[in-house]
Amino acid sequence: MNNELINDPGAAIVRLLPENASFGFKNGFLCLSFNGEGSEEYNRVFLHRVFPFELLWEYISVLDADNKEIGLIYNISDFDDRTKEMLKKELERKYYSPVIRSVDSLKERYGFSYWSATTTEGRKIEFTIQDTFRHVTRIGEDKCIISDVDGNRFIIESLSALDKKSYRRIELYL
Amino acid sequence: MKGKFIISFDFNLHPTEANKLTNGNLTLYENSLIVTENGTETHNLRVDDIEELKVENGVGCIFVSYISKIDKSVHLLCRNDLTDSKAIIKKVRRINLYIEDRCIPKGETDYIEKCPKCGRPFKDGSNICLYCSDKKQLIKRTWGLFLPYKGYVFTAILLFFFISGLNLVLPYINRIAVDNYIQPKEPGAVDISEFVLVILSMLALDLIIRTISVIRTHLLIAAGNKMIINLRNTLFDKVQRLSIAKISKRTTGDLMRRVTGDVWVLQNFIINYLPGALEEIAVLVCVSVYLAVYDWKLFLLIMIPTPFVVASFRLFWRFMRKLFHKRWLAGSKANSVLHDIFSGIRVVKAFGMEQKEGVRYEKATAHERYMQEKTDCIWSVLMPILRYFIGFGEFIILFYVGNKILDGKMTLGEMTQFSAYAGMIYGPLRMIAHIPRHLMEFNTSSAKIFEILDEKEDVANSIDSVDIEIKGDIDINNVSFGYDSGTEVLHKVDIHIKQGEFIGLVGASGVGKSTLINLIMRMYDVEDGSITVDGVDIRDISQESLRSQMGVVLQETFLFSGTIYQNIAYAKPEATRDEIIAVSKIAGCHDFISRLPDGYNTRVGERGFTLSGGERQRVAIARALLHNPKILILDEATSALDTETEKQIQDALSRISKKCTTIAIAHRLSTLRNATRLVVLDKGRVAEVGTHDELLEKEGIYYGLVMAQREMAQM
């Protein structure tokens, strides 16, 4: 996209910054007091990662209850520490994907692969993947996302940091 | 007083703490809803204070919250990962039905998503656990498929053992030839004619073995083929009888794989692999028994390398399979890059990306080449080494037998005989090493096939289902329905349609219009409430009777491979040419069809003439009209037509619709201008009902939609 198009009114994006947006929690949900053009109180807003695989804390779309975009947070670090923590917590809560530290066993059987793994918190997890090659997705050189039969997601943040045995177990699917 | 227990589910994630696990439970009692976490009560709500429960999707988790009746505010109750989410969604829907009516809803109560034996979740809409499936049972059931051809199979098995016995005789005659004629104890006393006779008997025996082998193979192939064709047809029949709900849980690819791929695995195993394996096993048994009886020391010597041979072959194969798999992946990746580029060749050229795509393909093929070289290299080094070690056994025997010959305890003929037997044992061993893998593939495929065959028909005809002559009254009585993956799509929909009415279903995308139509066609069964046609519940009408009196034009107009004529006559092949032309005229497709070079004989569908979206729709309308339906269902049936053509067709349809009940969905509201009544759906509920004028006057949702479209039209 060239610069001229960025300035087109159709491409205009409301950027949420501490000046025009103040976030809080209400009934267990994130709420927003928006003071930009057409200021409004939102009892409940939803955060949505625009680039969920690459940018976890940047380009966060803020939606209202009807799924309409109120604005975009370019980087949660634009906000003060308290708000930043709040946004981070809300995003982590919505995007629930345990991070895998090691793959302890992986057995192929009947077209499914049965995994036992340990998360970074030391929790042992077990899950099943159908059509393993399609559901182990490599993101860039070193990261990998695994989706199981139920739709749960697991992340391997750094393939190179995996122990040798774990790597050898999943190597075939990468 | 919380009252009696109604329903409950567990949840495993802390509602607010991102990665914190919890041991939670939500239970609905007659008068209250209680949520606990790790034994501590976090919510205790009066059912009277709850408007409804809501399920919201996160990524990798779901949230359940409630809407308060008092101030309509939403409050978070619990969170769960996706492992049991389907069961939770179903239960939340039932909780909502209870909250609204205060009576336990009828209908499905089966929430089981996991194997009761091992706790592993069922996969892919299936209701059998592949992990726990009884292997013996599978083999027994596959054998059951062979029963009609058991004569063939038993004869073939008998012949197996007969051939194996004859195979034992051959080295024995060879031994006679060596000991008595080639190196006789008394040289010079050889009768040449006897020697020729021995040689001829060997030739004859070989001929007999080969002839019987041909008969045996022929018998097995005949039985196998008959069984497979039979199985494929049964499977196809079963898939056709399954409900759309069951079918849509699987992809077309998956169903195709089962009817063709999995059956092929069975076919390959039974026809190509099993006869060879059985023969080798029969030989192994016969030779082993003979050797053990004749010279047990020699037998032991031959058997010593056996475990090593089997183990090393298995190890070697496991290693090679991984490599071959990687090579295959590299190949298929390169292929898919090629497929991608060729399919999008117009875009590639339009953006001048030929060079970049060239580099991408080169990269993919370079990787494939590397993998190929690697596997070939390893194969060419490892295989001879393995063969060398397997040959070791034969050297040990040579040493043992050689010593016996030197001591005069054995003849040269005996040595050739035993060497031949040793070869007969090692050959099958190499094959036996593969048996577990083949058997596993066979088990997997047969389990998948039996799973489809055993699938319960959920939208089956009831035992006392009747055929009725439909007049066209349709009553939708308080119908609620939701698909597996989401929340409720229709809620307490109550519509009563008289014979001959033209009902327009209106509403934004996703409000449940197509779902309602699917329910009327009984593609799915309602969860709560009922749908009746002429006062009879559609679950009590035979599906053939119901659907044969319905004409349907769906959003996706699918035309089969064949001529336009065949496509229109699809549901009534005996239709006359005049009938076909008449419905084509009404559907507005006669003119363009007759202008085509091949007229009604023009081939369409795959590899056929390409019709435009509007033309396809008109052919589909003609198809729906041909069997003179009593209920006509049009789901966006004229969306791809220009306004003028649509108007002509609509006018024609409204003339016909006096004789039949019509239900039509359209986003373009002008399509529904002939409707006797309009039903506006909003968020799965009936929001407004009335004629065009009545609804405009009301200035509600319909009014808003009309105004929005008018504004668009003015632009």
Domain of B75: which CATH number?
Answer: 2.30.29.30
The partner residue sitting opposite A152, judged by closest CB among B83, B325, B447, is: B83
Both B48 and B164 in one domain: the answer is no
B40 pLDDT band, cuts 50/70/90, is very high
Count of the separate structural domains present in chain B = 4
pLDDT given at position B110: 54
The partner residue sitting opposite A112, judged by closest CB among B61, B79, B130, is: B130
Say which residues have a Cβ less than 8 Å from residue B411's Cβ, sequence separation at least 6: B175, B178, B179, B183, B405
Q: What residues in A contact B332, CB-CB < 8 Å?
A: none
Average the pLDDT over each of B326-335, B339-348, B448-457 and give the range with the smallest value: B448-457
pLDDT in tens, A108-157: 776 678 899 999 888 899 898 877 777 888 888 889 999 988 889 999 99
Both B244 and B387 in one domain: the answer is yes
Place of tokens 């997601």: A153
For an interface test with B, the pick among A94, A99, A109, A128 (most B C-beta atoms closer than 10 Å) comes out as A94
Both B173 and B78 in one domain: the answer is no
Indicate the SS3 state at residue B676.
Answer: coil
Tell me whether A111 touches chain B (CB under 8 Å): yes
Decide which of B427, B454, B481 is a domain's last residue.
B454
CA distance A127 to chain B (A): 9
pLDDT given at position B486: 56
> For chain A, which residues make up each domain, given as ranges?
3-93, 100-173
Q: What is the mean pLDDT of residues B446-456?
A: 76
Q: What is the mean pLDDT of residues B336-344?
A: 85
pLDDT given at position B62: 92
Instruction: Indicate whether B128 pLDDT > 70.
Output: no
Phi-psi region of B30 (alpha: psi -120 to 50; beta: other; left: phi over 0): alpha
Burial of B685 (0-12, 13-18, 19+ CB in 10 A): middle
Distance, in Å, from the CA atom of A30 to the CA atom of A46, rounded to the nearest integer, reads 7
Higher pLDDT among residues B605 and B122, named by residue: B605
Q: Do A109 and B131 touch (CB under 8 A)?
A: yes
Both B562 and B635 in one domain: the answer is no
Instruction: Indicate whether B85 pLDDT > 60.
Output: yes
Burial of B134 (0-12, 13-18, 19+ CB in 10 A): exposed
Could you give the count of Cα atoms lying within 13 Å of B274 in the half-sphere of its Cβ?
22
Distance, in Å, from the CA atom of B271 to the CA atom of B160, rounded to the nearest integer, reads 14
Instruction: Indicate whether B637 pLDDT > 90.
Output: no
CA distance A162 to chain B (A): 20
pLDDT in tens, B152-167: 888 888 888 888 888 8
DSSP lists the bridge partners of residue B589 as: none
- The amino acid at A172: L
Indicate whether B253 belongs to any domain: yes
Decide which of B627, B651, B680 is a domain's last residue.
B627
Both B60 and B46 in one domain: the answer is yes
Indicate whether B596 belongs to any domain: yes
CA distance B58 to chain A (A): 5
pLDDT in tens, B550-572: 888 887 778 888 889 989 988 78
pLDDT given at position B250: 65
Which strand ranges, in their side-by-side order, compose the sheet holding A46-49? Answer: A46-49, A58-63, A69-75
CA distance B14 to chain A (A): 9
Could you give the count of Cα atoms lying within 13 Å of B214 in the half-sphere of its Cβ?
5
pTM of the model: 0.65
Query: Tell me, what CATH number does B314's domain have?
Result: 1.20.1560.10
Distance, in Å, from the CA atom of B51 to the CA atom of B66, rounded to the nearest integer, reads 7
Average the pLDDT over each of A26-35, A85-94, B260-269 and give the range with the smallest value: B260-269
Which secondary-structure segment (H or E) carries B471? Answer: none
Give Dmax over CA atoms of chain A in angstroms.
58
pLDDT in tens, B492-531: 889 999 988 889 998 888 888 888 998 998 888 887 788 9
Distance, in Å, from the CA atom of B14 to the CA atom of B19, rounded to the nearest integer, reads 8
Instruction: Indicate whether B6 pLDDT > 60.
Output: yes
* Per-residue exposure over B61-89, b if at least 16 CB sit within 10 Å of its own CB, e if not: bbbbbbeeeeeeebbbbbbbbbbbbbbbb
Q: What is the mean pLDDT of chain B?
A: 82
Distance, in Å, from the CA atom of A119 to the CA atom of A72, rounded to the nearest integer, reads 31
Range of the domain at B304: 135-454
Indicate whether B240 belongs to any domain: yes
Which strand ranges, in their side-by-side order, compose the sheet holding A21-26? Answer: A21-26, A29-34, A40-42
- The amino acid at B624: A
Both B346 and B387 in one domain: the answer is yes
Distance, in Å, from the CA atom of B673 to the CA atom of B643, rounded to the nearest integer, reads 12
Instruction: Indicate whether B651 pLDDT > 90.
Output: no
Instruction: Indicate whether B415 pLDDT > 70.
Output: yes
Tell me whether A94 touches chain B (CB under 8 Å): yes
pLDDT given at position B132: 67
A47 pLDDT band, cuts 50/70/90, is very high
Distance, in Å, from the CA atom of B376 to the CA atom of B370, rounded to the nearest integer, reads 10
Q: Do B60 and A97 touch (CB under 8 A)?
A: yes
CA distance B638 to chain A (A): 30
pLDDT given at position B484: 63
Task: Say if residues B605 and B546 touch (Cβ distance below 8 Å).
Answer: no
Task: Say if residues B168 and B235 touch (Cβ distance below 8 Å).
Answer: no
The partner residue sitting opposite A29, judged by closest CB among B74, B121, B329, is: B74
Which secondary-structure segment (H or E) carries B181? Answer: none
pLDDT given at position B106: 60
Q: What residues in B contact A48, CB-CB < 8 Å?
A: none
Indicate whether B463 belongs to any domain: no
Chain centroid to Cα B547, Å, comes to 25
B699 pLDDT band, cuts 50/70/90, is confident
Both B637 and B620 in one domain: the answer is no
Query: Strand ranges (DSSP E) for B47-161?
Result: 50-57, 61-68, 74-81
Task: Say if residues B625 and B600 touch (Cβ distance below 8 Å).
Answer: no
CB pairs under 8 A between A and B: 86
Q: What residues in A contact B447, CB-CB < 8 Å?
A: 110
Q: Do A151 and B130 touch (CB under 8 A)?
A: no
Distance, in Å, from the CA atom of A154 to the CA atom of B83, rounded to the nearest integer, reads 13
The residue of chain A nearest to residue B443, with distances taken between CA atoms, is A110
The residue of chain A nearest to residue B322, with distances taken between CA atoms, is A172
What letter does residue B541 receive in the DSSP assignment?
B
Q: Do A110 and B21 touch (CB under 8 A)?
A: no
Burial of B557 (0-12, 13-18, 19+ CB in 10 A): buried
Q: Do B130 and A130 touch (CB under 8 A)?
A: no
Q: Closest Cα to residue B26, out of B1, B6, B48, B52?
A: B6
The residue of chain B nearest to residue A26, with distances taken between CA atoms, is B75
